Amino acid sequence: MMQLQDILFSQGFGTRRICCGLIQQGLVKVRIDEAWAVCLDPSASFSEEGLAFQVQGEPWAYHERAYLMVHKPAGFECSQKPSTYPSVYTLLPGPLRARGGGAAAGVQAVGRLDQDTTGLLLMSDDGKFIHRLTSPRHHVPKVYEVRVKHPLDTTQVGRLLEGVVLDDDPKPVRAQACSAEDEHHLRLTLTEGKYHQVKRMVAAVGNRVEGLHRSSVGPLSLTPELGPGRWRWLTAEEVRLLTQKTPG
């Protein structure tokens, strides 16, 4: 059981003082027995499991941890403090950007996509989850749909599978899977995430990336219902699939 003001604080609705004020002003409703009721007592206690509430008319559900899927559009930076383009974090509601309070408040991107790259971006406020998906030792596959400038040939595909040397690392990096879907469409699967890796790998075999879209991370893929700029909560089963150990 948690006090209502602590529940709102944990979900990113401001300091405890602000959350207390929202409640006392009658701006918070809690769903009890399938009916919505205004709660004016900041210290009223509720079970967090399955708790649904409204803040200023907006419905929310309690989540101990945030696990999100975002369809990143082009023209957004995966940074809290972008240098040129808008931050991808502005696509999320304010409470998700402020969860937990403190210096590292809010959800964080699980890895990054370049500003001109589109596709699946995961976000979370769970440090272990982020580390599990970004650490090279876990070999989480990411699939990229790549539009290239010059026609593809079997030599280029073969070299990407065998491994190419990038300028900052003498150890070759290779695609886990690679196929030419048509002469300008390459589907590439990687299990690591070096800086501009797809672009640099394609350049190393004599071609050039002109469009880049990440279609899946591990077992999760973007679906047409989640359009560019939209987000949703991951289900408990999706989180389980993402964090289960890879055989071998």
| pLDDT above 90 (res 102) | no
**Which tokens belong to 18?**
């602000």
Structure tokens at 24: 């006392």
Q: Which element (helix H / strand E) includes 48?
A: none
pLDDT at 160: 96
Record the tokens describing residue 118, joined without a space. Answer: 């589109």
What pTM does this model have?
A: 0.91
Domains of the chain by range and CATH? 2-61 (3.10.290.10), 67-136+220-243 (3.30.70.580), 141-217 (3.30.70.1560)
pLDDT by residue (tens digit) across 140-190?
999 999 999 999 999 999 999 999 998 877 889 999 999 999 999 999 999
Q: From the candidates 6, 114, 116, 126, give the one annotated as an active-site residue.
A: 114
Read off φ and ψ for residue 191, nearest 5 degrees: -120, 10
Asked if 157 contacts 178 with a C-beta cutoff of 8 angstroms, the reply is yes
Catalytic status, residue 114: yes
Exposure class string for 142-160: b at 16+ Cβ within 10 A, else e: bbbbbebeeebeeebbebb
Tell me the pLDDT tens digit for each residue of 209-232. Answer: 999 999 999 999 999 999 999 999
The CA distance from 132 to 105, in Å, is: 20
**pLDDT-based confidence at 101, cuts 50/70/90?**
low
Q: Residues 6 or more apart from 186 whose CB is under 8 A from it? A: 145, 146, 147, 148, 152, 157, 178, 179, 180, 202
State the pLDDT confidence band at 248, using cuts at 50, 70 and 90. very low
- 3 state SS of 64: coil
